[in-house]
Amino acid sequence: MFVFGDSYVDTGNFLKSGSYKPPNGHTFLGKPTGRLRHYVENSKLEYGMNFACGGTGILNTFSNGPNISTQIDSFQKLIQQNVFIKHDLNSSLVLFNAGGNDYATYTRRNGTLRDVAAFTSSLVNQLSSDLKRIEKLGVSKIAVALLMPMGCLPELSVMTSYQTCVPAPNIVSKNHNQMLVQSLAKLNHELGKSIITTLDLYASFLSTLDLMQKRRKEHVRMMNPLEPCVKIVDEEEEEGRKYIMCKKPELSFFWDNVHPSQNGWHESPTNPHPNPPSFRATKATLLEFPALNGQSISYALFQYPPGTINPPHMHPRASELLFLLHGSLQVGFVDTKRNLYTQVLEAGDMFVFPKGMIHYQYNPSGGVGATALAAFGSANAGTVSVPVSVFGSGIDEVVLAMAFKVDVSTVKKIVDGVRKS
C-alpha cells in the first residue's frame, strides 16, 4: 500500500507534531511514536510506503510539509530509482486522504468559508490531476477518502458547547464530496475502467455520531461523542505539555480537536449502508399491498450499489417524487420537446419526475451506495422500461437497426445484453 495525504493517514512523517508527545499513543502502542517515516529499512519496502504528512493538503497550507503533488514527486523518484517496479505498483493499493487542512487554511486567510465554491472546484481539479499522475505511474487500485463533516470536529462544535455539529462547514464538506464524486466518476469513465473508489467518511462519521448520541440518551453518563477526549491545557510547559484526558478514552469518538480516537475509527464503517449486489427496488404497490386499492398512492425503496443505474423508464399513470436517504445520485428526465433536465442529488434532496416522462437515476460513486424512497400518485403507477420495451419485446432486429442507424450485429449484441439482465 502507498499512502498520500494529511494527519488522518500520517503514521509519523510530521516530526514536529504533537503526536510525538504524551498522551498520544495511550490507546494504541502504549506510547507516542512515529511508526513509519519516509526512511524505512529495505526489508520493509515490500509492504509499501507512507508519504502522508500531518498539516498538509491538496494545495499548500500553513504547514511546511509536502502537499499531495510533492508527495507524489517523492514516490515517482523511488520508481525511477527502481525501488518499486511495475509489478509492485500494479498489485498495490493507493490511499488518498486530504482536504481538511486546505479548508482550514482558506478560513484562516479569509476569515470565513463564504464564497468557497471556486476554491472547492480548484481543490477537486488538483486532486483529479494528482490521481491521473498516480494512474499513469502504473497503479490500478486507488481509494479516495471523502471529506469528513468538518462542522462536527470538536474545534468547531465547541461553539455549540459540543451539543451539535455546526451546519455551514458540513455543507462545505457535502458540496466538496459531491463535486469530488462526480469528478472521480468522470475520471473512471475516461480511463475505461473503475480503478478509483471512495471511502465515505462523511456518512460514516455522521451515522456513528448519531448512534453514539442515541446511546448517550439511554446512558447519561456516557461521554459526549462530539467532545474531545484530550484537551491541551499548556502546550509550552517545560516538563512537557499539560493536558486533561477523559476517563474512558476507549469510549470516545474524537481523540483531540480534529482526529477520531482509536475507538472512533473502529466504530466508523467506511460505508455505513450495506449494498445489495445490483440495483434493487422494493415496492409497496397495489400488487404487493391490495389495501392500496383506490388510495392513489404507492411507494418504492430503491438501493443503488456503486456504479449502478435505474435504467431509463417511465410511469404512465403517475408522477414520482424521489427522496434521497443516503449517498449521491445523478438523475434526469426528458420532456416532450426532448429537453433533458438533470440534477445531482445528495442525501436529503428531492426530485420530481412528471407522469409519462422518460427518466433515470445513476450512482456514479466508485464505493458508496445510495438509497432513495420514491412516492407515486397512484396505487398502480406502472413501469415501462425503455431498454426492455425496445430491445426485449421482439421487434424485428432489422427495424431496430434502421431506426437507430446501426448494423444488425450491434442490435443483436444489445438484445442479448438486455435478455441477460
Could you list the residues known to form a binding site for Mn(2+), using ranges. 313, 315, 320, 359
Q: From the candidates 102, 130, 200, 256, which is the catalytic residue?
A: 256
Measured between alpha carbons, how far is 198 from 177 in angstroms, rounded to an integer?
Answer: 10
Measured between alpha carbons, how far is 124 from 258 in angstroms, rounded to an integer?
Answer: 22
Measured between alpha carbons, how far is 416 from 321 in angstroms, rounded to an integer?
Answer: 33
Count of Cβ atoms closer than 10 Å to residue 255 Cβ? 26
Annotated binding site for oxalate: 310, 315, 320
Annotated binding site: 310, 313, 315, 320, 359
Helices 167-191 and 117-136: angle between axes, nearest 10 degrees: 30
Residue 259 annotated to the active site: yes
Helix, strand, coil % (nearest 5) of the chain?
35, 20, 45
Residue 63 annotated to the active site: no
| Extended strands (E) in 139-235 | 142-145, 196-199, 230-234
Residue 349 annotated to the active site: no
Closest C-alpha to 156, from 167, 146, 147: 167
Q: From the candidates 6, 7, 10, 17, which is the catalytic residue?
A: 7
Measured between alpha carbons, how far is 371 from 328 in angstroms, rounded to an integer?
Answer: 9
Q: From the candidates 252, 259, 261, 298, which is the catalytic residue?
A: 259
Buried b (16+ CB within 10 A) or exposed e, 327-354: bbbbbbbbeeeeeeeeebbbbebebebe
- 3-state secondary structure (DSSP) of residue 359: strand
The bridge status of strand 94-97 relative to strand 298-304 is: unpaired
The residues annotated as belonging to the active site are: 7, 256, 259
